[in-house]
Amino acid sequence: MATQSNHSEIAEAMADRLAAWERQVITDHELSVLLCRSASGAIERGLYEAALERLQTFRLISPSKDFPPGTVFHLFGRSKPSAMEVACAVDPFAYLSHLSAMEFHGITDHFSRILYLTTPAEKEWKALAQQRMEKELGKKQVAHRSARLPVLRPLAADRIEGMRIESVRRSHRGAFKAVQSPAIRVAMIGRTFLDMLREPERCGGMQHVVDTYRDYGARYLPLITQEVEVHGKAIDKSRAGFLLEEVCKLDHPLIEGWKATAQRGGSRLLDPGSEYAPFYSEAWKLSINVPSLIQDGATGGGTA
């Protein structure tokens, strides 16, 4: 059994490691990893609970009110983290996407009180978590499991720092990058433009997507076309091709090639979330169900 002296020594060792912690928050699992790295003897559940109590007593950590008790903690003396920093810290496999990514990249004037995240599907998430724990704990993984210490798992929250959280689970998450300041992960710009076509309702609505393509399509044309070419489905290519060619009046070798994949069908809509409209683009085999484009005469075709 661990003694009071051992409890104190381990808590001090964990405090030293916390002083070098890069983020403003830490999860219960991450604290359990610090415990395993700090303990030289047997690892017990009581040892973790004692260390946690000491760290809170000395106010080195304090529980977050946005998560279940005892799962996420704020570090003393750190600046208040933003919702996106907390979200990316708590879910190590999630990244900012949709309107949140648009805001980060500076391609929207909409400022939502919703934080949009993309994270792996449940089965993939568990596999990634297992790989991460094996790397973090090494030979102490068995002792960690035997002591029933907190494992890496999804920690859901409806709101973080006052922002509502909306997570999208995907088997194919797409390209994202890590940013050091603030410490977050965010969808790459090309992926963000592809997400706009697929889920405009999470990107400020289809009219905002159209406006964003108009404003920034030329600037990011190579990145948009490359992402759509590699990861886009036929319907994505039709939507992107229509917006880039007929709305933005842009040319690119890949765009011309996408026309070969266009096939007319009743379910082929520019805005996937709106009703069919009897105005269509003959070149892109799309129902142009966005009122402003019909008014502007940007359908490139006629009525069905």
DSSP 45-96: HHHHHHHHHHHHHTTSEEE-TTSSTTTEEEETTPPPPPHHHHHHHHSTT-EE
pLDDT tens, residue by residue, 155-177: 989 999 999 999 999 988 789 99
Q: Is 8 left (phi over 0), alpha (psi -120 to 50) or beta?
A: alpha
Answer yes or no: are the C-beta atoms of 140 and 36 closer than 8 Å. Answer: yes
Q: Taking Cα atoms as reference points, which of 269, 174, 177, 179 lies closest to residue 226?
A: 174
Answer yes or no: are the C-beta atoms of 199 and 149 closer than 8 Å. Answer: no
Residue 258 structure tokens: 């996408």
Side-chain half-sphere of 87: how many Cα atoms within 13 Å?
A: 28
Q: What are phi and psi of 169, to 5 degrees?
A: -95, 125
pLDDT of residue 73: 97
pLDDT of residue 210: 98
Q: Which residue has the tokens 């030293």?
A: 16
Question: CA separation (Å) from 140 to 77, 125, 145, 166, 245?
Answer: 31, 22, 9, 35, 57
pLDDT of residue 297: 58
pLDDT of residue 21: 94
Answer yes or no: are the C-beta atoms of 97 and 117 closer than 8 Å. Answer: yes
In the predicted model, residues of the chain with pLDDT beneath 70 are 1-5, 265-266, 295-304
What is the C-alpha separation between 95 and 87, in angstroms, rounded? 8
pLDDT of residue 134: 97
- Distance separating the N- and C-terminal Cα atoms of the chain: 79
What is the C-alpha separation between 251 and 230, in angstroms, rounded? 18
Residue 163 structure tokens: 């922002």
Answer yes or no: are the C-beta atoms of 248 and 270 closer than 8 Å. Answer: no
